[in-house]
Structure 1
Amino acid sequence: MTETDVIVVGAGPTGLTTAAELTLAGVRTLVLDALPERNPLSRAAVIHSRTAELFDQRGWLDSLLAPGDFPSTRIGHFAGLPIDYLAWPTRHPAYNVPQGRIEEFLEARLTGSGTPVLRGHRVVELADDNGAISVTSTGPDGHVRHRARYLVAADGGHSTIRTLLNLDFPGRPGTSTAVTAEAILTGPASTRQGTDYGPGGHWVIQFPLEDRVRRVVTGGPGPARSRDDAVTADELRTTLRAVYGDAIETVEIRRAARIDDAARQITGYRAGSVFFAGDAAHIHPPLGGQGMNTGIGDAVNLGWKLSAAVHGWAPDTLLDTYHTERHPVGARVLANTRAQALLMDWAGTGHADLPAVRDLLTDLLAVPEAMRWMAGMTTGLDIRYDIPCAASDHLTGSRMPDLDLIVADRPRRAYSLLHAGRAILLDFTPDGRFLPAARPWSDRVDAIPVVPQTISIPPAILVRPDGYVCWTGDPATSDTALRQWFGAPRMRWCAAR
């Protein structure tokens, strides 16, 4: 039997990011995955701007992008209509990075830090073991029992953990299927980016991955197919020819799989000591590249809260905020992807009125504020959590902007101050008047005197480890905010006061 603090089931981007956050915080973590090796098909392939910011906050982004030529783009799509990601203020566009590269990068960080990632270990039993979680996995060493305080289920849309707990996954099943592939293409239309339509309801989305490889997603009329049915080269060529004619040719298909338009979301992201993240919590039509990015957002929101609970300073309600904050985010992704599936005619109905609706939406997106709203929603840059008992201002509950700052007479970006995965209190006052208030929490909050390089900044900002602002400078409420998010202060500081 093995003992640890947190078991993460699932070694996809969501599970590995959760484990990386926990490991950074000094939490003993074990990752179990049923597959003997990484899935060679990079089902997801886009890091949206907010996910890039999250990786930048940890100092991971440059290393992630370093080994390959991963194209960046400021143009995405909503139901095939162009979306300018940089309509929302951020330092980062989107990056076309295959899921396999993200998993390889995160797994290397974990194993380099001593956190085991056990592949080929399928969970077959789960039980409450005197207030702890006990799971049994079967793998190369036979049956092994693992025990931990908490478990994170990041094991996909067909979650074994969800099944073992007999939890419902309400929503709608897939009614039509599409094909996603990694392919090398030639011809004048082989460098297209975005969505193209052909007669009879056929459609194709394509964008570059790395080297000469392109991601191609195709759909059209016809009955739903089983996701287990093999995708043939002739099938893919037929759809490409229906849309592009002779303007494109398939040279090589590296990998291909079927996807469907199922949309489901678990009712509660927490079940006692078990937490659900990524596809184990929500599945939806894979449009706009939001699935993996939403799962990584789940992981970063959950990781620091579980770490606080393991280290003993989490306020009583902290773990419950994972559900209250992330369930609405997942619900919104389900809603907008279902709308996209309808607008882009995923099922290939060829409805005569759809072009008129798309033309209307195209005109609407020509309005800058409408484009900004759409970019914020599809990238997650506009996520704003409800922060109880906080003052109402434009920052509280929103992501911390990556401000240019002067810290200890050196230029720094705000995100560089979050590399350690700890909360930060930024004091912008000349006399550092807010710094003493944070000293009793110095084991979990870094209080930093800074000089802003921009105007209209509150006198102080308290930022959670996930990069979201939870308080701005009202001296009368700083103690309340610190207790609300970071628990009781250390006893020796209480005594000193």
Structure 2
Amino acid sequence: MDTEVLVVGAGPTGLVLADELRVAEVPAVLVDKLPERSALSKAGGVQSRTQEAFDQRGLLDALLATGDHPAGTAHFAGITLPLTRDRHRHPWRSIPQVVIEGFLERHLAAQDIHVRRNHELTGLAQDADGVTATFAGGGVLRSRYVVAADGGHSTVRRLLGAEFPGRPGTVTLVAADVRLGGEDQAMTHTRSETGHWVSVFPLGTDPQGRPLRRLSMGGPGRSRPREAPVTEDEIREGLRAVFGDRVPLLELRYARRITNAARQAARYRHGRVFLAGDAAHVHLPIGAQGMNTGIQDALNLGWKLGAAVHGWAPAHLLDTYHAERHPVAAGVLRNVQAQSLLMDQEGTRDPDVAAAKHLFAGLTQLREVQHHLDDTLSGMGIRYPMPGTEGRPLVGFPAPDQDLGPVRSHELLRPARGVLIDPADGFAEIAAPWQDRVDRAGQGVTAEPMLIRSDGYVCWTPAAGPDNGTAGLESALRHWFGEPH
């Protein structure tokens, strides 16, 4: 083998996966067909669960230090959800994808891991032992596993012949990075009586300290062929249709057309090849859910590939990637399609849609509804299907951060090992055979006992019983961390 894992695509999904493999001490090669990193902002927000994951690896503070990344309030279909503020340790933040990519690429380079650019994949062949990848110009690389993180038009997916069912795009919208004048448009979704609409979200500031905005717009008659260039006049016309002359365009930094296509790969695993990020699921970009979902794909898959490479992965472990992540992306597609319908992005002014949104907006005034939507969008409500979830409300969810005296529990995940929180010091004998891959912590402190996977998800908690709560612990250790040495 030339390397253990080949990661194709150096967007956020591929970069995070490369770092997860680094932490797991797995040799990997990261390639991208582009000659240099894109300067486009693309996605514009980082959800709570993604920030928790960066914090678990010790990256969040350095990422936030890269610039002005204001916290925002969640929304669903343009309806603000103010009752969700401060529910999680990390609020939604505006951090453009281009900033995240630059940060992660510099972080990897500091660890002597560099993106191999100008590597266009042209062939892929699997056998019992590994995968042979061929590149334009004749280069060949042999690896044990391959991960496709190469976007919605994935070359890997095409070479696999993988099914990608769903709906093609029926309309195009404009997305642009701009500077605006006039009224403060920090975060709004505004619609005119004629059906034209404009959404504006913060993107931080430019080098001169001037506020930048991510702008999306659409409405009746505004759909154009995807390849048609977006002009400044088109942006000005769209702003004028909604705001009149109150919000002028000061600068157009870049613009592109996006579609409402919604597709998801039928299978995320194809032998030794895995699909992740936009290679596995595409949808209209609302709330940066595509980028956040892709990053979570990488966090779920990375430690499992590490376990397989190091030889202790249970036989079923790699299959849990599809079992856990496919339903999550299916849920994202559903909520994005629901938001798109309620926002009437084609500007149809359908009275039935208007009535549905009016009713829905009323429901969102209920605290329980806002919290449910916030859990859906933030990633904090994800619950993976796991053994032992019945009667154990924490199992399958992201682990709560606990004070363990000198450290917080999330800090213990930085080596990407499992963590067993054992406040009563009663699990030492059971956990000892797995000490090479699971750390035991929290003795003598007030904390909830639990077993946490390397990606930060609870996979066991004790139940009351004559065995002092140890029931199922050995089974959970075997299930997630393999046979002990």
TM-score by length of 1: 0.93
Residues 339-392 of structure 1 deviation map (CA, whole Å, 9 limit, x = unaligned): 111100011111123332222112111111111100000111100011124553
How many residues align structurally? 474
* 1:422 counterpart (414, 417, 423): 417
In structure 1, what is the equivalent of residue 193 of structure 2? 199
1:495 aligned partner: none
Is 1:481 paired with 2:471?
A: no
CA distance in 2, matches of 1:207, 1:450: 45
- The question of whether the paired residues in 2 share the 8 Å contact of 1:85 and 1:379 is answered with no
Specify the SS of the correspondent of 1:329: helix
Matches within 5 A, 1:164-243: 164-188=159-183, 190-211=184-205, 212-222=211-221, 224-243=223-242
The alpha-carbon deviation at position 131 of structure 1 amounts to 2.2
1:133 to 126, 131, 134: 131
Q: Is the 8 A contact 1:5 1:148 kept in 2?
A: yes
CA contact (8 A) 1:123 1:137 kept: yes
Of 76, 91, 94, which residue of structure 1 is paired with 2:92?
94
Find the residue that maps to 2:30 and give its secondary structure: strand
Partner of 1:388: 387
Offset, 1:136: 1.0
Aligned mates of 1:391, 1:359 — CA distance in 2:
37
* SS of match in other structure, 1:201: coil
SS where residue 50 of structure 2 aligns?
helix
Runs of 4+ in 1 over 6 A off after TM superposition: none
Between 147-156 and 202-211, report the one with greater CA deviation. Answer: 202-211
Q: Tell me, yes or no, if the aligned pair for 2:85 and 2:91 is still in contact at 8 Å.
A: no
Gaps of 5+ in 2: 206-210, 463-468
Uncovered stretches (5+) of structure 1, i.e. residues with no partner: 491-497
Structure 1 residue matching 2:451: 3-state secondary structure: strand
The one-letter amino acid of 1:286's match is: P
Equivalences for 1:298-447 in 2 at 5 Å? 298-406=297-405, 410=406, 412-429=407-424, 432-447=425-440
Which amino acid is 1:110 matched to? L
Q: Give the C-alpha shift of residue 442 in structure 1.
A: 1.1
1:452 CA drift (Å): 4.8
Distance 1:374 1:12, change over 3 A: same
8 Å contact kept, 1:391–1:471: no
Residue 403 of structure 1 contacts residue 452 of structure 1 at CA under 8 Å; is this kept in 2? no
Distance 2:357 2:95 in 1: 29
How many angstroms apart in 2 are the aligned matches of 1:364 and 1:238? 34
CA contact (8 A) 1:87 1:375 kept: no
CA distance in structure 2 between the partners assigned to 1:85 and 1:18 by the alignment = 34
Instruction: Assess if the C-alpha contact under 8 Å between 1:88 and 1:381 holds in 2.
Output: no
State how far apart, in whole Å, the 2-side matches of 1:95 and 1:192 are.
13
In 2, the alpha carbon distance for the partners of 1:436 and 1:300 equals 30
Cα deviation 1:76-111 (Å, max 9, x = unaligned)? 211111124845832110110111110111112222
Partners of 2:100 and 2:269 lie apart in 1 by: 26
Choose between structure 1 and 2: higher strand proportion: 1
Instruction: Give the Cα separation in 2 of the matches to 1:427 and 1:237.
Output: 61
Letter of the 1:90 counterpart = H
Q: Does the CA-based 8 Å contact 1:8-1:30 persist in structure 2?
A: yes
Partner of 1:494: none
What CA deviation, in whole Å up to 9, does each residue of 1:293-336 have, x standing for no partner?
A: 01111110001001000000000000000000000000000011
Q: Could you tell me which residue of structure 2 aligns to residue 449 of structure 1? A: 442
The residue that corresponds to 1:468 in the other structure is: 457
Q: Which amino acid aligns with 1:487?
A: G
Structure 1 residue 160: deviation in Å?
0.3
SS, match of residue 30 in structure 1: strand
Query: SS where residue 348 of structure 2 aligns?
Result: coil
2:139 is aligned to 144
Q: Pick closer, same or farther for the CA change 1:84–1:405 going to 2, 3 Å.
A: farther
CA contact (8 A) 1:84 1:375 kept: no
Name the aligned partner's letter for residue 50 of structure 2.
T
Deviation at 1:146, TM superposition (A): 0.6
Q: What is the SS of the residue equivalent to 1:475?
A: coil
Q: CA deviation at 1:27?
A: 0.4
Cα distance in 1, alignment partners of residues 277 and 70 from structure 2: 25
Distance 1:309 1:393 in 2: 28
Residue of structure 2 in register with 1:291 after alignment:
290
Q: Determine the C-alpha separation between the residues in 1 that align with 2:360 and 2:155.
A: 40
1:123: which partner in 2?
121
Residue 175 of structure 1 contacts residue 224 of structure 1 at CA under 8 Å; is this kept in 2?
no
- What is the Cα deviation at residue 450 of structure 1? 3.9
CA distance in 1, matches of 2:226, 2:302: 32
- The letter for the 1-side match of 2:93 is Y
For the aligned residues, what is the CA RMSD? 1.5
Contact 1:76–1:194, Cα closer than 8 Å, also in 2: no
TM-score by length of 2: 0.95
The structural deviation recorded for 1:449 is 2.8
Q: Distance in 2 between matches of 1:344 and 1:391?
A: 38
1:390·1:396 contact (CA, 8 Å) conserved in 2? Answer: yes
CA contact (8 A) 1:423 1:463 kept: yes
The Cα of 1:21 is off from its aligned counterpart by 0.4
Specify the SS of the correspondent of 1:424.
strand
| Pairwise CA distance, 1:153 | 0.3
Q: What is the CA–CA distance in structure 2 between the aligned matches of 1:259 and 1:467, rounded to whole Å?
A: 33
Task: Look up the SS of the partner of 1:417 in the other structure.
Answer: helix
Rounded Cα–Cα distance in structure 2 between residues aligned with 1:425 and 1:191: 47
In 2: Cα distance, 1:204 partner to 1:23 partner: 42
1:390-444: CA deviation from partner (whole Å, max 9, x where unpaired): 55311011110112221xxx2x222111111111000011xx1112221111111
In 2: Cα distance, 1:35 partner to 1:129 partner: 28
**What letter matches 2:105 in structure 1?**
E
Question: Distance in 1 between the 2:214 and 2:347 partners?
Answer: 20
Residues 353 and 130 (structure 1), Cα distance of their counterparts in 2 relative to 1, 3 Å cut? closer
Q: Is the 8 A contact 2:197 2:218 kept in 1?
A: yes
Superposed CA offset, 1:189-209 (max 9, x none): x42412110132211110111
Matched-pair contact (CA < 8 Å) for 1:435–1:449: no
Q: Structure 2 vs 1, CA of residues 88 and 277 (structure 1 numbering), >3 Å: closer, same or farther?
A: farther
SS at match of 1:21: helix
Deviation at 1:113, TM superposition (A): 1.6
TM-fit CA distance, 1:228: 2.1
1:78 partner amino acid: F
